[in-house]
Chains A and B, each alone.
Chain A
Amino acid sequence: MPRKTVCELRDVTFVYPGGAAGGSGCASPALRNVTLSIYEGEWVALLGSNGSGKSTLAKHLNALLVPSQGDCLVYGLSTRDEKNVFPIRSTVAMVFQNPENQIVGTVVEEDAAFGPENQGVPPDEIVQRVEVALAVAGLLEKRKKPTYTLSGGEKQRLAVAGALAMDTPCLVLDEPTAMLDPAGRAELLRVLRNLHASGKTIVSITHRLEEILSCDRAIILHRGEIAWEGTVSALFLSDLPFKEWGLDIPPLVSFWRDLRAEGRSVPPVPTVAAMADALCQ
């Protein structure tokens, strides 16, 4: 059965007004001839170094940016058309890098309710949605707290809860774990795994290869172009110029690759538990 396409980029090139994309200072495009599709229910990891264009690409997926050339379609609707913007943003919710810039409410539950309020969701349903979203994000106990009392990690989870409360089929997260400690990171990844299992389409941006073990597909951006695309296991097995792309092979994956290259038995996916089992055989 053909999978339904959620977002589609057709030969998209994007140049920031004034030309300076990031720090390069020259008028080079932030995205160059990017063509890709995101399918319903899949979890795609968008990888690349700082300045590779991954945030720029993410902003195309809910019409925050429109292509300089080419087209971006969300469920077939062009992001270029002003009248499509509202339906598109009710389809694709965004979580940005810095939660400090996303919190608008003074109280946790008010902040999480901001999105559905703007969507015109009936009050009773907002209350329900907010409760579910805060529970998923592990913030239910803090629902009555002022947002300024949250720690950085909690603020980030609140930003995720705000996006979840919008109940969109697709969630785009721009480095959602950047400010979290390892436990907070693991917690957020667990939330995403559950959402993925429940059928949500997820695009998560990261430069940490260890965070993509549960993803279906990985897309690597380098200097605004798609440098590689494939399954996550293919990515770990491949001999790609990770360094050149600003990606770091996690130590555990290096160990796994090294053992594999020597013909020793290794688990299909390099997790701590699976590696321990394999090494104890």
Chain B
Amino acid sequence: MSIIVSGLGHTYHPGTPLETHALRDISFKFPAGTWFSVVGHTGSGKSTLAQHLNGILLPMEGEIFIDGLEVKEKSPSLRDIRRKVGLVFQYPEQQLFAETVSDELAFAPRNWGVPEQDIPGRVAAAAAQVGLDEGCLGRSPFHLSGGEKRKAAIASVLSSLPDYLVLDEPTAGLDSFSRKELTRLLSGLRKEGMGILLVTHDLDIALQMSDRILVLDGGRRTVCDTPAAVLDHLRSHPVPGLQLPEIAALSAALRERGKDVPLTWDWKEIKSALFGSQK
């Protein structure tokens, strides 16, 4: 079970002066139950890629298979694909619309034809998964705080029981506490077997959490590998607009000056390499 993308290309406004090649020849494999991150600078094609994974955009070139189902125009599987792959947009709280949080969470499963008696269970489970207080369920989603709105929006996708969760910059605009909480939540979902595809420009989170990272630059694949290998690659082949996390940059600077420290995003590793592990 996996998402397989091969030779994917996408062009916006083809044949007009606004023609933009958003993606060119992108290939990767994202196995179920793993954490896969897509990083790149603003305009690198990350969001365009995310929108292909549940068929909001359909491939203009290349192929995408979700657990063997092809994402393509008029595919009878599109409905299944959209159930399997939950997509959380950037600023998902802007899509909240229902009168209560509970209705918001029930909307998708009702659309999938889940029997009405199962809906409350789905809603409660999804709310619990994201850590939304039960007291929130009866309230208007517009009266929630920023962090809670984000959680409600994610829960409204989880209530469809997707196998893969694709999130486009889910931590944008959240404070560090909410950001950590969200990262913890996603890592919990991954442990339960859900595939997490995180689109982010936060290389720090990607390095810490991912099994594999795909780096995009101007719509092309730069590297797709494990976090350590990606860090090594980015140090020798910098991608414009994508900065190494400060600690990684520090470790790289120290190595260039002949210090025997690992290339790392964890300062404790630098410290123990330089001074031995006290404490």
Which A residues lie at the B interface, using CB under 8 A?
A: 20, 22-25, 49-51, 97-98, 149, 151-154, 175, 178-184, 186, 207-208, 210, 243, 246-248, 250-252, 254-255, 258-259, 264, 272-273, 275-276, 279-280
Contact = CB atoms under 8 A, between A and B. Distances in A.
Contacts, number: 120
B145 interface: yes
Given A179-B173, A181-B242, 17 more contacts: A22-B145, A50-B147, A179-B169, A179-B172, A182-B201, A182-B241, A183-B240, A183-B242, A186-B243, A247-B175, A251-B204, A252-B246, A255-B250, A258-B271, A275-B250, A276-B250, A279-B250
A207 B42 contact: no
B245 interface: yes
A259 B271 CA distance: 9
B42 A180 contact: yes
A160 to B, nearest CB: 15
Interface residues of B, number: 48
A204 to B, nearest CB: 15
Contacts of A25: 139, 143
B129 interface: no
Contacts of B180: 248
B253 A151 contact: no
B176 interface: yes
Contacts of B243: 182-183, 186
Nearest to A24: B145
Given A186-B243, A210-B246, A279 B145 contact: no
A207 B139 contact: no
Given A50-B147, A98-B91, A179-B173, A184 B241 contact: yes
Which of A153, A178, A272 has most chain B Cβ within 10 Å? A272
A246 B176 contact: yes
Contact of B41 (A178, A183, A255): A183
B43 interface: yes
Contacts of B202: 182
Contacts of A272: 246, 249-250, 253
Nearest to B247: A251
Interface in B224-279: 240-243, 245-247, 249-250, 253-254, 257, 259, 265-267, 270-271, 274-275
Contact of B247 (A207, A243, A255): A255
Interface in B84-103: 90-91
A107 to B, nearest CB: 13
Contacts of B253: 272-273, 276
B146 interface: yes
B18 A183 contact: no
A247 to B, nearest CB: 6
Nearest to A247: B176
Contacts of A97: 173
A182 B242 contact: yes
B174 interface: yes
Which of B139, B145, B242, B249 has most chain A Cβ within 10 Å? B145
Nearest to A98: B91
Contacts of B69: none
Contacts of A51: 145-147
Contacts of A276: 250, 253-254, 257
Contact of A181 (B241, B265, B267, B275): B241
15 contacts: A23-B143, A23-B144, A51-B145, A152-B42, A154-B43, A180-B42, A181-B201, A183-B41, A183-B241, A183-B242, A210-B246, A251-B245, A251-B246, A252-B267, A273-B253
Given A250-B246, A272-B250, A50 B172 contact: no
Contacts of A22: 145-146
B175 A149 contact: no
Given A50-B174, A153-B42, A255-B270, A23 B145 contact: yes
